[in-house]
Amino acid sequence: MIEVLGIEHIDLTVRDVARSEAWYDKVLPALGFRRIDDDAPRWASAHLTIAIRPCSQSQASVEHDRYRAGLHHLAFKARSRADVDELYRFLASEGLTILDAPAEYPQYGEKYYAVFFADPDGMKLELAHFPWGYWRQVQSAGSDARPRYALKT
């Protein structure tokens, strides 16, 4: 059986590379990423790399819609609730778009704590703290007890 160990990299398409590059140059270092000079603007942490690439000309005027096929949102895992709060203060001090201030979201799991924000194209991002022991329990039990929602048609 093949076991996936995690996500190696994520490439995001953006409408304006220069605008998004400046935004991600600000936000990703606050999340522990460092800039890598490569074939595209790219940032790396110990766990994954994120790059941005220009979208096709036909999509250059289309706003991001997370309910269209493709990426809904990107969630980063935080080590602590304090890290979520720290990112919130950073986003606020930089005047960046905050969708939802830090709060507990019990619908996602007991003690799930997150802040939601948006990039220049309106893509939703999240920094969440979910107690580490939860995933160990899921792995040993073989299931995740969090409620699941049916897709709206």
150 inside domain = no
Q: What is the CATH number of the domain that holds 104?
A: 3.10.180.10
Q: Is the pLDDT of residue 152 over 60?
A: no
* Residue 149 located in a structural domain: no
* Distance in angstroms (rounded) separating the CA atoms of residues 44 and 53: 15
More confident residue, 68 or 153: 68
Residue 65 lies in a domain: no
pTM: 0.82
Q: Residue 145: what pLDDT? A: 62
What residue numbers bound the domain in which 122 lies? 72-142
Please state the domain count of the chain: 2
Query: In terms of domains, do 46 and 5 share one?
Result: yes
Instruction: Please compute the mean of the pLDDT values over residues 73-88 and round it to a whole number.
Output: 96
Residue 34 in domain: yes
Query: In the structure, what pLDDT confidence band is assigned to residue 56 with cuts at 50, 70 and 90?
Result: confident
Q: Give pLDDT tens digits for 92-150.
A: 999 999 999 999 998 888 889 999 999 999 999 999 999 865 555 665 666 666 554 44
3-state helix, strand, coil in the chain (%, to 5): 30, 25, 45
